[in-house]
Amino acid sequence: MLELVTVSLLNGVVYGLLLFMLSSGLTLIFSMMGVLNFAHASVFMIGAYLSFQLGRWVGFWPALVIAPLLCGLAGAAIERYGLSRVHARGHVAEILFTFGLAYLIEELVTMVWGRNAVANAVPAVIDFPLFHVFGSTFPAYKGLMMLISLAMFAFLYLALKKTRIGLVIQAALTHPKMLSALGHDVPGVFVLVFAVGSALAGLAGVIGGFMLLTQPTLAHAIGPIVFVVVVVGGLGSLGGALLASMLIGILQTFAVAVDYSLLDLFRTLGIMISRGSPLYELFAIKLATAAPIVPYLLLVLMLIVRPRGLLGTRDV
Amino acid sequence: MAAACALELRSVEKRFGATEIIRGVSLEVARGERHAIIGPNGAGKSTLFNLISGRYAPTRGSIRLDGEEIAGARSFAINRRGLARSFQVTNIFPRLSVFENLRCSVLWSLGYRYNFWRNADALRDAGECALATLEHIGLAARGDVPAGVLTYAEQRALEIGITIAGGAHVILLDEPTAGMSRGEADHAVALIRRVSEGRTLVIVEHDMSVVFGLANRISVLVYGEIIATDVPAGIRDNPAVQAAYLGTLPDA
Amino acid sequence: MTGAAAAAERVARSAAPGRRRRAWLLIATVALLVALPHVPGLQSDFGRSLLTQMGIAAVFALSFNLLFGQTGLLSFGHAVYFGLGGYAAIGLMRAINHGLPLPMLVVPLAGAAGGLLAGVLFGAVTTKRAGTIFALISLGVGELVYAATFMLPGIFGGEEGITASRTRATIDFGFPLGSQLQVYYAVLLWTVAAALAMYAFTRTPVGRMCNAVRDNPERAEFVGYNTQRVRFIAFAMAGLFAGLAGGLHAINYEIVSADAVSAARSGAVLIMAYIGGAAYFVGPILGAIVITWLQSSLSDYTSAWLLYLGVFFMAMILYAPSGLAGLIMMHRRIAHPRALAGVLAAYAVALVPLALMAAGAVLAIEMAYRMSTQPELGTRMRLLWMSLDAALPWPWIVAAVALGGGLLLFRAAVPLVASAWERAAARG
């Protein structure tokens, strides 16, 4: 029992930090530009593919640096040549643009690497056991991921709250014209923010790529969960994103390990539900099977109880 | 006592975080009165309107409409009780035609609510009301134009139109003549005088000739407090008011 | 009569010829649609099936636009109502198969009921917010329902879905749904009815307020309307008609499975409505027709058709946000036929480099797709009438030149189109 709890907790924290890595860039772009970047998970996917390809050509460590840079450049290009034309038309138009982009990126990735998953295996250089817990090993790459994730949090926190450019950027969100009048290059600021956000997504993709399957549907598999994180945590709140990521990561990991259903619960309480009863099938679902919908249930719950999110400060 | 008073504010306070914008405002507006609120920029005039019309809830204090408490109520609830307001920054329905803007403003007050089985074009009273308002505000020739393409002055007129179309008996106008030329402002004042016949009007204005020409009584709001409430002549001669404005009141 | 009443009379009378014209247009369109499956080229089962799919897609896209174009709510999970309606319909079909004395023709009503129920249930929660949050909620609910269909195989049939027969019925009032032609006419009947009903809804008081809420939700509250309630009503209506479309889907395919509530389907209806033109009532119909046609025809020729669709969508977002309907309506402003001819001629000129660009891009894309997704077929391939080897450099060079050259020439042609428009605007 203790083994189950410890291992699940550890895995939950790892998964949660992976979710945070992905949602951090999204939170940055949202809180500074008001744009909900649907293509964020797609850039994550590009990071995964790039790390696979670059890893083959130049090795893991250079790929760890180059892939995020390329993703950042891609983000800069997206904002400069595409998204910037859409800002004036409002948030809905921006979402549609990034939605179309996500669609496009999925197809472009298919065009280059094919429909099947690529063999994006953990590089040997970081695939050694860091420590043992209850007989299972905790590999070094998971430790690296946790380190990078926490470093992202620190970097973003400082950038948003403590630096002058952070303040400028936050001002650009609500008063872009005034900021221009004061001499700041608002379009340039947006390009920078989008680039940094995309670079963060790319960095997350390098690590995430070998923890998850690197295939064209990767963005679609993980994208919605990241949005749930951002909404549950509270739009625009970095701390909320961390909290929500951990919550969802741990809840979902524990759920997968629980091979019980409501039916079992009722049975221990002495309540018998007959097979013919209409809700029987619903009650018979094992929590492990229901694990994929845990984030979405949390989303709906949060929206009913506290639409602002856990630590949300702003309304959309 | 309460019946004579269309709008009554008692010790209304509004705080945003640590900043106090409205610091205890008390005001009584009699039924049928035309009451102007003036004051320097940043005094909190628009915030006061927002509190009365339900956009914000007061931190403390009571706001009564026809004797009934409305502080903190939702804006649609307040509107349904007969209070309508216009906005300083034009707040119209840009993609709807001018006529449609006005028609949408009367639907609730005519009782159509969430009706989804009748054709809106077949509602004679709604159409007539909208057309009457259209004529009142002088936009009869522009009825089918999308509101977003109107000129600034036309949009300000429409803004007033949307506010009065529903037949509210207490009307709040927030700087209705802002940005208008002298001629346009005179036109607007005539319109306002016409439509406020028999209704209670509270108007925020910077243009003193408008204020002095229109108002029965004036309140002066400075730093979230009312420093004087009096008839126009009294306000003009009030030393505290003169100090607040540094003597810029005209000898109208 | 008062001045306002007299003015109202004048307005009503001047609207009458417009209404008569629209009525004739509608009759003509319906007559055309009735005759369409007998037109050579569409007489096959394939052609009629395509027309049927267009009808279903049109109802679905119109229902989406009740939310998006009419009320300003962007939903990424609209397929939920389509699919749940479909499941309800297929359930009714099974009941009819087992003897329930109802004609198959009323099955779409079950779809509508299912969609309405789901719309009311989910709408109560999701319409509390608008804008970006609403979009995200709709995404989450979509994922939730999709995952749930796999977790409850007894109700939703799991991966295989639920099947029924559209011919096994005890009564049919002379309208059996055996052949594809009969199915088409049934779908046509429901499509026209649904489209008219949705149009009528947009003209009701609450329909007008949906537009007002879209334009300025805050002001709508200040004229007495609870914005959330207006959105809720729009949501319920959109769910009803999406469910109706799902019911038509159930009849046509005789099977409903998880793909009916998938994110892909939600994305597809969004693209249809947007490309067609969300600002116009008929825009989504246009989008549904075009996308359904592309989906069915292109996918036979190329595995890259989703990419082309994506590019098309992005191009519309950037350069033609009012959609195909908007592009067409833009030309109504040109009154003078000479001016119109000038504009069309400019289009023809600009079309040449555009076609060149497209040819180069298509060449490169097709080759890339072949190499990455079907490597087992080798690098020799056929593209239209040409056969080439993607491993050689020359096809790639040709593609690059066509793309680059086309782009340069196109940029040179754009001012021609712009000046043609200026001349047309000056004339009008």
Minimal CA–CA distance to C131: which of C195, C61, C56, C75?
Answer: C75
Ramachandran bin of C224, using left for φ above 0, alpha for ψ from -120 to 50, beta for the remaining angles: left
Is residue C190 situated within a structural domain? yes
C179, C281: one domain = yes
C34, C111: one domain = yes
Give the span between the Cα atoms of B100 and B148, in whole angstroms. 12
| CA–CA min distance C259, chain A (Å) | 15
Residue A175 dihedral angles phi and psi, to the nearest 5°:
-135, 60
Q: What is the mean pLDDT of chain A?
A: 84
C32, C114: one domain = yes
Helix, strand or coil, per DSSP, at residue B43? coil
Residues of C in contact with B95 (CB under 8 A): 211, 214-215, 279
Q: Is residue A179 very low, low, confident or very high in pLDDT (cuts 50, 70, 90)?
A: low
- What CATH number did the domain enclosing C245 receive? 1.10.3470
Range of the domain at C401: 334-427
Give the span between the Cα atoms of B245 and B64, in whole angstroms. 30
**Which of B148, B167, B186 finishes a domain?**
B167
Residues of C in contact with A304 (CB under 8 A): 125
Query: Which residues are registered as beta bridge partners of C386?
Result: C383
C127, C37: one domain = yes
Give the span between the Cα atoms of A206 and B68, in whole angstroms. 63
- pLDDT tens for each residue of C195-228: 999 999 999 999 999 999 999 999 999 999 999 9
Structure tokens at C404: 């680059």
User: What average pLDDT score do residues B127-145 get?
Assistant: 91
**Which of B109, B143, B167 finishes a domain?**
B167
B104, B145: one domain = yes
B122, B151: one domain = yes
Who wins on pLDDT, C10 or A25? A25
User: What average pLDDT score do residues A275-282 get?
Assistant: 73
C162, C258: one domain = yes
Q: How many CA atoms lie within 13 A of C427 on its CB side?
A: 17
Beta carbons of C133 and A101 less than 8 Å apart: no
C313, C411: one domain = no
Number of domains making up chain B: 2
B99, B156: one domain = yes
B113, B37: one domain = no
Interacting residues of C161 by C-beta distance below 8 A, sequence separation 6+? C255, C256, C257, C258
Is residue B192 situated within a structural domain? no
Beta carbons of C224 and B80 less than 8 Å apart: yes
Q: Residue C425 in contact with residue C342, Cβ under 8 Å? A: no
Give residue B51's pLDDT: 93
| CA–CA min distance A130, chain C (Å) | 36
- CB-CB: which of A97, A114, A231 is closest to C136? A231
- CB-CB: which of A114, A304, A316 is closest to C125? A304
Give the span between the Cα atoms of B191 and C23, in whole angstroms. 41
pLDDT over 50 at A233, yes or no: yes
Cα separations in angstroms, B38 against B9, B30, B45, B230: 16, 18, 8, 12
- H-type helices in C157-282, by residue range? 180-202, 205-215, 217-222, 227-253, 263-276
- CB-CB: which of A104, A224, A227 is closest to C311? A104
Is residue B186 situated within a structural domain? no
Structure tokens at C251: 């009849």
- CB-CB: which of A91, A220, A292 is closest to C147? A292
- What CATH number did the domain enclosing B23 receive? 3.40.50.300
Q: Is residue A76 very low, low, confident or very high in pLDDT (cuts 50, 70, 90)?
A: very high
| CA–CA min distance A57, chain C (Å) | 19
Beta carbons of C8 and B127 less than 8 Å apart: yes
Beta carbons of B123 and C7 less than 8 Å apart: no
Burial class (CB in 10 A: 0-12, 13-18, 19+), A164: exposed
- CB-CB: which of B53, B95, B118 is closest to C215? B95
Q: Is residue A299 very low, low, confident or very high in pLDDT (cuts 50, 70, 90)?
A: confident
Is residue B57 situated within a structural domain? yes
Determine the angle formed by the axes of helices A60-81 and A186-211, rounding to 10 degrees: 140
Beta carbons of A307 and C128 less than 8 Å apart: yes
Interacting residues of C320 by C-beta distance below 8 A, sequence separation 6+? C326, C327
Is residue B187 situated within a structural domain? no
Counting every residue, how long is chain B?
252
Give residue A70's pLDDT: 95
Beta carbons of C125 and A112 less than 8 Å apart: no
| CA–CA min distance A5, chain C (Å) | 25
Cα separations in angstroms, A138 against A146, A209, B206: 12, 18, 71
Helix, strand or coil, per DSSP, at residue B85? strand
Minimal CA–CA distance to C294: which of C315, C319, C268, C267?
Answer: C268
Residue from C1, C127, C219 whose CB has the most chain B CBs within 10 Å, to mutate: C219
% of chain B with per-residue pLDDT over 90? 54
C98, C142: one domain = yes
Give residue C176's pLDDT: 82
C93, C180: one domain = yes
| Portion 249-308 of C in contact with A at CB < 8 A | 263, 267, 270, 274, 304, 306-307
A253-262, B49-58, C310-319: which has the minimum mean pLDDT?
A253-262
Between B and C, how many CB-CB pairs are < 8 A?
123
Beta carbons of C313 and A220 less than 8 Å apart: no
Beta carbons of C139 and A285 less than 8 Å apart: no
Is residue C176 situated within a structural domain? yes
Structure tokens at B49: 């309107």
Is residue B50 situated within a structural domain? yes
Beta carbons of A36 and C154 less than 8 Å apart: no
Is residue C328 situated within a structural domain? no
Q: What is the pTM of this model?
A: 0.91
Tell me, what DSSP letter sits at residue C261?
G
Give the span between the Cα atoms of B49 and B53, in whole angstroms. 6
Beta carbons of C140 and A299 less than 8 Å apart: yes
C181, C273: one domain = yes
Beta carbons of A85 and C318 less than 8 Å apart: yes
The complex's ipTM works out to: 0.90
Beta carbons of A93 and C317 less than 8 Å apart: yes
Is residue B182 situated within a structural domain? no
Task: Give the pairing of strands B60-65 and C380-383.
Answer: unpaired
Give the span between the Cα atoms of C262 and A90, in whole angstroms. 27
Residue from C261, C265, C372 whose CB has the most chain A CBs within 10 Å, to mutate: C372
Beta carbons of A316 and C133 less than 8 Å apart: yes
**Sites in chain C below the pLDDT cut of 50:** 1
B61, B94: one domain = no
Is residue C65 situated within a structural domain? yes
Q: Is residue B1 very low, low, confident or very high in pLDDT (cuts 50, 70, 90)?
A: very low
Q: Residue A246 in contact with residue A14, Cβ under 8 Å? A: no
Q: Residue B99 in contact with residue B144, Cβ under 8 Å? A: yes
Residue from C76, C133, C291 whose CB has the most chain A CBs within 10 Å, to mutate: C133
Give the span between the Cα atoms of C346 and C404, in whole angstroms. 21
| CA–CA min distance B187, chain C (Å) | 21
- pLDDT tens for each residue of B225-242: 888 898 988 888 888 888
Beta carbons of C204 and B162 less than 8 Å apart: no
B126, B61: one domain = no
Q: Is residue B99 very low, low, confident or very high in pLDDT (cuts 50, 70, 90)?
A: very high
Beta carbons of C318 and A115 less than 8 Å apart: no
Interacting residues of A59 by C-beta distance below 8 A, sequence separation 6+? A123
Structure tokens at A112: 């280059």
Query: Which residues are registered as beta bridge partners of A199?
Result: none
- CB-CB: which of A103, A292, A300 is closest to C140? A300
- Taking CA–CA distances from B162, the nearest residue in chain C reads C223
- CB-CB: which of A85, A103, A281 is closest to C313? A103
- Taking CA–CA distances from A290, the nearest residue in chain C reads C151
B67, B173: one domain = yes
Q: Do chains C and B touch (3 or more CB pairs under 8 A)?
A: yes
Q: Residue A244 in contact with residue A229, Cβ under 8 Å? A: yes
Q: C121 — contact with chain A (CB < 8 Å)? A: no
User: What average pLDDT score do residues B90-97 get?
Assistant: 93
| CA–CA min distance A192, chain C (Å) | 21
Beta carbons of A36 and C147 less than 8 Å apart: no
Residue C223 dihedral angles phi and psi, to the nearest 5°:
-110, 20
Number of domains making up chain C: 2
B13, B34: one domain = yes
| CA–CA min distance A114, chain C (Å) | 4
pLDDT over 50 at B252, yes or no: no
Cα separations in angstroms, B219 against B3, B45, B193, C39: 21, 11, 19, 77
Residues of A in contact with C368 (CB under 8 A): 111-112
Residues of B in contact with C2 (CB under 8 A): 128, 132
Q: Is residue B18 very low, low, confident or very high in pLDDT (cuts 50, 70, 90)?
A: confident
User: What average pLDDT score do residues B185-192 get?
Assistant: 87
C234, C260: one domain = yes
% of chain B with per-residue pLDDT over 70? 96
Burial class (CB in 10 A: 0-12, 13-18, 19+), C31: exposed
Chains touching chain A, criterion 3+ CB pairs below 8 Å: C
pLDDT over 90 at B79, yes or no: yes
- Taking CA–CA distances from C308, the nearest residue in chain A reads A104
C200, C345: one domain = no
Beta carbons of B94 and C216 less than 8 Å apart: yes
pLDDT over 90 at A266, yes or no: no
Range of the domain at B163: 90-167
Give residue A107's pLDDT: 92
Is residue B188 situated within a structural domain? no
Q: C315 — contact with chain A (CB < 8 Å)? A: no
Per the listing, tokens 């593209």 go with C383
- Taking CA–CA distances from C15, the nearest residue in chain B reads B121
Is residue B216 situated within a structural domain? yes
